[in-house]
Structure 1
Amino acid sequence: MTALKAHEVARYLARPDLSEGIFLAYGPDGGLVRETAQRLIRHLSGEDPASANVTIFDGPELASDPSQLVLEARSVSLFGGKRIIRVRNATKALVMPLTELRDDPGGTAIVLEADNLTPRDALRSLVEASKLGRALPCYPDSDETLMALMRETFNQAGIRADSDVVPTLREILGNDREVTRRELEKLTLYAASSKALTREDVLLLCADNGALAIDAILDATGGGHAEKLELALNRALAANVNPQQLLAMLTNHFANLRRWRTQVDTGKTARAVLDGQRPKPHFSRIGALEQQLRLWTDPALSQAIERLLQGVSDSRRKPALADAILRRTTLALCMMAATH
């Protein structure tokens, strides 16, 4: 009986112990199930994948005539090469033909893809009890495994990723392995020449909406980074984020900076002040916020807040000019930060 644990699957795929038999990839993560089947088929195909004879069936198609599976497995390949049968959406309707094949697959590798299956499911039980069967559970990745996958991908591509790239990417993506792989491919292609990735690159390429660029706007304005500010503003406004809302959020941000600066002026370190906040700012922003607290004095922050309040008022009186008012106001504050 061979029933692998979820954390053992990746290691097994690197060195499968069978070249024929029944392989069952199952679980709630459809993307990971597909990827597991694909990786297994690539390995089973040998050094010359093009020579492999891969036949693909859909589960419902076979359910209406299960004998097709046996006939295909017993057929002799006209062109030679490894015979592999891939069955998508496999169900317990295939138990009978698989029972006939489990002890004598005739050199054929049968790769099944299925949804989440309970331990008592007939299909899973059959594979786990078979000498030439391997069941590969595919469950949603943990933060640890996904972040390890990201780092491994960047390392293999020779890409230097800033320390906040992986945490930011993990925050944006869900647990679907296929989606994660697709986004990683996009990022490695983007960084193929520069061999470097930043948090701004991740937000630009992988975020689903402009809201995720708001932190970048706040920190670029407060930190005096004009180029980063321009990029973040373009992205947020292109995603139809309300410029009046952005001005209001900037006002709150600078009010927070002034409140924190008051505590720094009493002798506390910027890090101690930030660590004491509830909710605590996201760890990826701590460095930027510390820099802003060093750049801005209380009088300068008071002046910045007045300017923002004026921008909010102007944008309400002239909503058609809200974009221009936002850009003018943030650029002015950015210049103030840069001269401190």
Structure 2
Amino acid sequence: MTALKAHEVARFLARPDLSEGIFLAYGPDAGLVRETAQRLIRQLSGDDPESASVVVLDGAEVDADPSILAVEARTMSLFGGKRIIRVRGAGKSLVMTLTELRDDPAGAAIVLEAGNLTPKDALRALVEAAKLGRALPCYPDSDETLQALIRETFNQHGIRIDQDVVSTLREILGNDREITRRELEKLTLYAASSKSLTREDVLRLCADNGMLVIDAILDATGAGHAEKLELALDRALSSAVDPQRLLAMSTIHFANLRRWRTEVDAGKMPRAVLEGLRPKPHFSRISSLEQQLRLWSDNALATASERILQATSDSRRRPALAESSLRRALLAICMMAAAH
């Protein structure tokens, strides 16, 4: 019985201990499941991947005709290469057919891709119990594995990166391996000639520019920078960012400041409050947020929140005036911060 742990999968893929049998890549991260299956197939294809016979089946196709899997597994390759059957969207309907192939796969490698399976799932249980079976759990990347993947990718392409590129990418990217790979491919292609990458490159190519300008609006408002606020508002509204969205994000921002301010009033230093947040704000915003925590009292934050709620109510009653309501409210709050 072989049940690999998630952290053991990478080592297994680098050197599989089986060349035939049933291999099950499963987990909630569909991108990682797909990538795991692809990497395994490349390894199983051996030194001459061109000669390998790879048949791709869909789970629904096998559900309709379960015998097709057994037929493909036992059909000799015309060119004598490795026979690999890849089944996408595999489910428990395959269990009966796989039971017949479990002890005698006839030299074939059957690579299954499935969603998140519990330990009691019939398909997972069958593969884990098989002598010629390996189950490969694919769970979302941790901070450590994502950072390792980012560094490894750039090292392989000989790309020098600024010190804050990895942390910036970690802030931007989620935990879906397929999305991460796609963004890294974009960056390596961009840096193919220069062989260097900066944080500004990453922000320009990967970040949600709408979110960046919203952060600029929130921080300019909270820190009392009227000119920066006007510029950021003009950029956002000219890019068709909805005023209602900006009001909603402002509501959240000042509610967060008020919550964090409670910890400051209890004796904690503003920087310590921010460093303890999970997820932690991007380091580029830390100084501004620290300044805002020092500027605002709890009573002033309550007043600012009331102004935003009133502007939100006004904009909903009269949508045509949403932009002017937004501008008036944020400018008034900005002036409150500047007066401190």
1:240 CA drift (Å): 3.4
TM-score (norm 2): 0.68
Question: Shift of the alpha carbon at 1:237?
Answer: 6.9
Matched residue pairs, number? 275
Q: Map of 1:207-218 to 2, 5 A cutoff?
A: 207-213=207-213
For 2:240, the equivalent position in structure 1 comes to 240
Q: Secondary structure at the match of 1:182?
A: helix
1:61 is aligned to 61
Residue 65 of structure 1: CA displacement? 1.5
The range that moved more, 43-52 or 96-105, is 43-52
Aligned partners of 2:274 and 2:281 also within 8 Å: no
1:127 is the counterpart of 2:88: no
Q: 1:238 to 1:145 in 2, by over 3 A?
A: farther
**Which residue in 2 is equivalent to 1:72?**
72
Corresponding residue for residue 88 of structure 1: 88
Do the aligned residues in 1 keep the contact of 2:171 with 2:282 (CA within 8 Å)?
A: no
Contact kept? 1:210, 1:240, Cα under 8 Å = no
With over 3 angstroms needed to count, the CA separation of the structure-2 counterparts of 1:153 and 1:235, relative to structure 1, is farther
Cα deviation, residue 218, structure 1? 9.9
SS at match of 2:32: helix
Runs of at least 4 residues off by over 6 Å: 216-219, 232-235, 276-281, 286-289
Amino acid at match of 1:197: L
Residues 139, 277 of structure 1: alpha-carbon distance in 2 compared, 3 angstrom cutoff = closer
Range that drifts further, 146-155 or 176-185: 146-155
Give the deviation of 1:278 after TM superposition: 8.7
Q: Partner of 2:56: helix, strand, or coil?
A: strand
Q: Structure 1 pair 235/188, CA: closer, same or farther in 2 (3 Å)?
A: farther
Query: Relative to structure 1, is the Cα distance of residues 81 and 65 closer, same or farther in structure 2, using a 3 angstrom cutoff?
Result: same
**Letter in structure 2 aligned against 1:26:** Y
Q: Is the 1:57–1:85 Cα contact (8 Å) retained in structure 2?
A: yes
Structure 2 CA distance for aligned equivalents of residues 99 and 191 of structure 1? 49
Change (3 A) 1:11 1:236: farther
Is 1:158 equivalent to 2:173 in the alignment? no
Gap change, CA 1:191 and 1:12, over 3 Å in 2: same
After TM superposition, the score normalised by the length of structure 1 is: 0.68
Deviation at 1:120, TM superposition (A): 0.8
Contact 1:204–1:235 (Cα < 8 Å) also in 2: no
- Percent identity between matched residues is 73
Measure the CA separation in 2 of the matches of 1:163 and 1:81.
46
Deviation at 1:285, TM superposition (A): 1.9
Q: Deviations over 1:135-175 (max 9, x none)?
A: 00011111121111111111221212222222221222211
Partner of 2:189: 189
Counterpart AA for 1:135: A
Letter in 2 for 1:124: R
Q: Which residue of 1 aligns with 2:283?
A: 284
Question: What amino acid sits opposite 1:35 in the alignment?
Answer: E
Quote the Cα distance in structure 1 between the aligned partners of 2:3 and 2:51: 30
Which blocks of at least 5 consecutive residues in structure 2 are unaligned?
Answer: 224-231, 254-268, 292-320, 325-340
Q: 1:2 to 1:279 in 2, by over 3 A?
A: closer
> Which shifted more, 195-204 or 206-215?
206-215
Q: Is the 8 A contact 1:62 1:69 kept in 2?
A: yes
Are the structure 2 counterparts of residues 43 and 276 from structure 1 closer, same or farther at C-alpha, using a change threshold of 3 Å? closer
* Structure 1: runs of 5 or more not aligned: 223-231, 253-271, 293-318, 323-340
Identify which range, 178-187 or 139-148, moves more after superposition. Answer: 139-148
- Tell me if structure 2 keeps the 8 A contact 1:203–1:213: no
Structure 1 residue 35 displacement after superposition: 0.4
Residue identity matched to 1:79: F
Change in Cα spacing, 1:241 to 1:143, as seen in structure 2 (3 Å) is: same
Q: Offset of 1:274 from its aligned partner?
A: 5.3
